[in-house]
């Protein structure tokens, strides 16, 4: 049985990591983990740990800081290394958090740092073709070094669940973090344009933008907020919604990511409304099952919700069609095929 060594301070229970680890097992691999007490001590701690030589080193989501020690040991062992960053630190800090101004020396230094790490990997895995294009153009990583692996969902947990009924009343739900890319302000403004509808808008989660969303909703009786709920309880909360919402922000990131909430909403078989983006060009972008709306447009979102709940009998069939779309593009079968292709290619090289 081949062995993959997950290297670094990644969270095993993070949804993407958990899904990929399960797919490794189903493909006949054994998962082992090296979790240093600090990224800076990874090299020293790995020597002390006397690690068994694996067949592949895998650096999981957000762990670019662990790449130095991972690359060193992978090269000494003579085994390939795959980096699965999910999010570029340069992109996040420059275009999302606005920590560095685009084109500034700090941003360029961050880009050079991350580019060197990606070049050192045998394969850099991104969540869709649009993100791979960004990394190719911004950091100069050759296309042949880039792989695509969607996020998918934990299909043992996120399964089709009984509908809350045709309604009214209806529940429109958002589950996620309150950050700029999510566009929670757009959701609240859309709710304000829909006060005449027999529905409530429920936003579940936490984040920096939540106070602003609550301020916007101060005089809206049809908007409710909830804090984080346990991950295992998310499917039940999502199943209580007639319509689920994706993201509606206008930051650069929103054009080339597909958040976990998209996959999970599709997996529980609920109608889904989200904004059109380049990240869907290589998968579900041409499907009319999804309620596509323009970026940052509360009027378009309100109009889509209104048109859907005006035909309540169509909501359940639309949810079922959404799940079928998930199975075709993001379910276990296509995900396993994508990971198998990446492993086959990188092991041959």
The model's pLDDT over 292-335, given as tens digits with 9 standing for 90+, comes to: 999 999 999 999 999 999 999 999 999 999 999 999 999 999 99
Q: Are residues 296 and 336 in the same domain?
A: no
**What does the chain come to in residues?**
349
On the question of pLDDT at 95 being above 90, the answer is no
Mean pLDDT for the chain?
94
- Number of domains the chain contains: 2
214 part of a folded domain: yes
The CATH number that applies at residue 188 is: 3.40.50.2000
306 part of a folded domain: yes
91 part of a folded domain: yes
Q: Are residues 45 and 76 in the same domain?
A: yes
Q: Are residues 234 and 293 in the same domain?
A: yes
Q: Are residues 93 and 177 in the same domain?
A: no
Q: Are residues 239 and 115 in the same domain?
A: no
Domain of 275 in residue numbering reads as 170-329
- In the structure encoding, which two tokens stand for residue 70, read together? 């991972």
Q: Give SS3 for 147.
A: strand
160 part of a folded domain: no
Q: Are residues 301 and 339 in the same domain?
A: no
Q: Are residues 115 and 176 in the same domain?
A: no
Q: Are residues 238 and 255 in the same domain?
A: yes
- Supply the pTM of this predicted model: 0.90
Q: Are residues 248 and 295 in the same domain?
A: yes
Q: Are residues 10 and 93 in the same domain?
A: yes
165 part of a folded domain: no
- Torsion, Cα 72 75 81 86, to 10 degrees, reads 30
On the question of pLDDT at 251 being above 90, the answer is no
On the question of pLDDT at 165 being above 90, the answer is no
Nearest-angstrom CA–CA distance, 151 and 106:
30
For 187-224, write each residue's pLDDT tens digit: 999 999 999 999 999 999 999 999 999 999 999 999 99
Q: Are residues 96 and 131 in the same domain?
A: yes
Burial of 103 (0-12, 13-18, 19+ CB in 10 A): exposed
Q: Are residues 324 and 338 in the same domain?
A: no
- Torsion, Cα 320 326 328 334, to 10 degrees, reads -150
157 part of a folded domain: no
- The sign of the dihedral angle between the CA atoms of 107, 108, 109, 111 is positive
99 part of a folded domain: yes
164 part of a folded domain: no
């Amino acid at each position: 049985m081949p062995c993959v060594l997950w290297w670094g301070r990644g969270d095993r229970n993070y949804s993407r990591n958990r899904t990929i680890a399960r797919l490794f097992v189903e493909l006949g691999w054994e998962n082992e983990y090296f979790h240093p007490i600090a990224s800076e001590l990874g090299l020293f701690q790995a020597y002390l740990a006397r690690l068994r030589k694996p067949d592949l080193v895998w650096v999981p989501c957000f762990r670019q800081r662990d790449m130095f020690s991972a690359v060193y040991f992978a090269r000494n062992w003579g085994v390939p290394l795959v980096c699965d960053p999910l999010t570029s630190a340069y992109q996040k800090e420059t275009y999302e958090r606005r920590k560095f101004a685009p084109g500034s020396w700090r941003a360029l230094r961050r880009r050079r740092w991350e580019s060197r790490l990606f070049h050192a990997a045998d394969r850099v895995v991104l969540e869709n073709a649009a993100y791979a294009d960004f990394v190719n153009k911004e950091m100069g990583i050759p296309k042949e070094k880039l792989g695509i692996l969607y996020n998918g969902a934990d299909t043992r947990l996120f399964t089709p669940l009984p509908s809350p009924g045709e309604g009214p009343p209806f529940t429109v739900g958002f589950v996620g973090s309150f950050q700029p890319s999510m566009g929670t302000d757009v959701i609240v403004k859309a709710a304000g344009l829909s006060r005449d509808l027999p529905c409530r808008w429920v936003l579940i989660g936490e984040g920096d933008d939540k106070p602003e969303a609550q301020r916007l909703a101060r005089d809206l009786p049809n908007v409710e907020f909830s804090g984080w709920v346990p991950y295992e309880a998310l499917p039940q909360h999502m199943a209580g919604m007639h319509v689920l919402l994706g993201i509606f922000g206008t930051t650069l990131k929103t054009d080339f990511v597909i958040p976990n909430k998209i996959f999970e909403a599709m997996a529980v078989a609920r109608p889904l409304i989200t904004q059109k983006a380049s990240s869907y060009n290589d998968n579900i972008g041409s499907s009319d099952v999804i309620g596509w709306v323009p970026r940052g447009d509360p009027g378009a979102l309100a109009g889509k919700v209104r048109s859907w709940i005006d035909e309540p009998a169509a909501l359940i069939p639309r949810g079922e069609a959404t799940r079928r779309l998930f199975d075709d593009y993001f379910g276990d079968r296509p995900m396993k095929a994508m990971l198998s292709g990446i492993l086959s290619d990188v092991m041959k090289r």
